[in-house]
Amino acid sequence: MRNMTILVVDDDPVIRRMLEKRLEKEGYEVLIAEDGYQAKKIFPQQHIDVVLTDLIMPGSIGGIEVLDIAKKINPTIEVILITAHSSVDTAVEAMKKGAADYLEKPINFDELFLRLEKIANLQSIMRNAMDLSQAMDTTESAAAVTIQNLEIRNAELQGRLNAIETILRDKQSPPYDQVDKVLDLLAAENNIIIYPQ
């Protein structure tokens, strides 16, 4: 499984350092932002799988705004909010806006790792499904070209058979003329245009 890249957004340097250390130890790639403004700058520059953000930070970009920015840049980014017990209601609101989960302070790391693992599994299933549908699209479009060519060619040949039948059933026409006309129609075989692939 590919390692996930996690962006940690928190104004508290102690929590930042602790999260960075523990997450790196677990094998995650970690990016750090000191507040919402820094996070906003990082989003367009880096591939991020998960954002771990404090709900309440100084300035006008809090956790909810980080969530909005992340989802706007790439809806597949999952956001986990870190919240004090007193702001659980806000965190639940955030879940309605698309946050994957929230964690109450103080952070229980076992709980955090469990949730990250769940997100990793889900993303891997998603990628797998995308790969499969990509493969299906490729197979389907290749098959479509073949089938469409056959369909058109079949209709063309059917039309020619009908024309030959009409010529041969024409009792008025001398047999040599009929043969000539039929041969002309058959010679046209070489002119069937197959659409280029």
Partner 1 sequence: MLKISPDELKLVAQYIHDISGIYLDQSKSYLFETRLSSIVSEYDFKSFKELYQKAKTESDKIIERKIIDAISTNETLFYRDKGPFELLQHKLLPELIDARTPGSPALKTNIKIWSAASSTGQELYSIAITLKELLPDFSRYTIKLLGTDISDGAVAQASRGKYNKFEMERGLPGDKLQRYFTMFGDSWTIKDEIRAMVQFRKLNLMLPFADLGKFDIIFCRNVAIYFTLPDRQKLFNKIADSLADDGYLIIGSTESLTGICPLFVPKRYLRSIFYQKK
Residues that bind partner 1 (CB under 8 A): 71, 75-76, 96-98, 126, 129-130, 133, 137, 140-141, 143-144, 147-148, 150-152, 154-155, 195
Nearer to partner 1, 93 or 189 (CB): 93
The CB-of-74 to partner 1 minimum distance in angstroms stands at 10
Task: Tokens for 122, please give them.
Answer: 């889900």
The CB-of-72 to partner 1 minimum distance in angstroms stands at 9
Nearer to partner 1, 147 or 188 (CB): 147
Contacts of 49 (CB under 8 A, 6+ apart): 4, 5, 6, 77, 78, 119, 120, 123
Nearer to partner 1, 107 or 152 (CB): 152
Nearer to partner 1, 108 or 138 (CB): 138
Task: Tokens for 143, please give them.
Answer: 């098959």
Contacts of 191 (CB under 8 A, 6+ apart): none
The CB-of-17 to partner 1 minimum distance in angstroms stands at 32
The CB-of-153 to partner 1 minimum distance in angstroms stands at 10
Are 80 and 105 in contact, with CB atoms under 8 Å apart?
Answer: no
Nearest-angstrom CA–CA distance, 137 and 132: 9
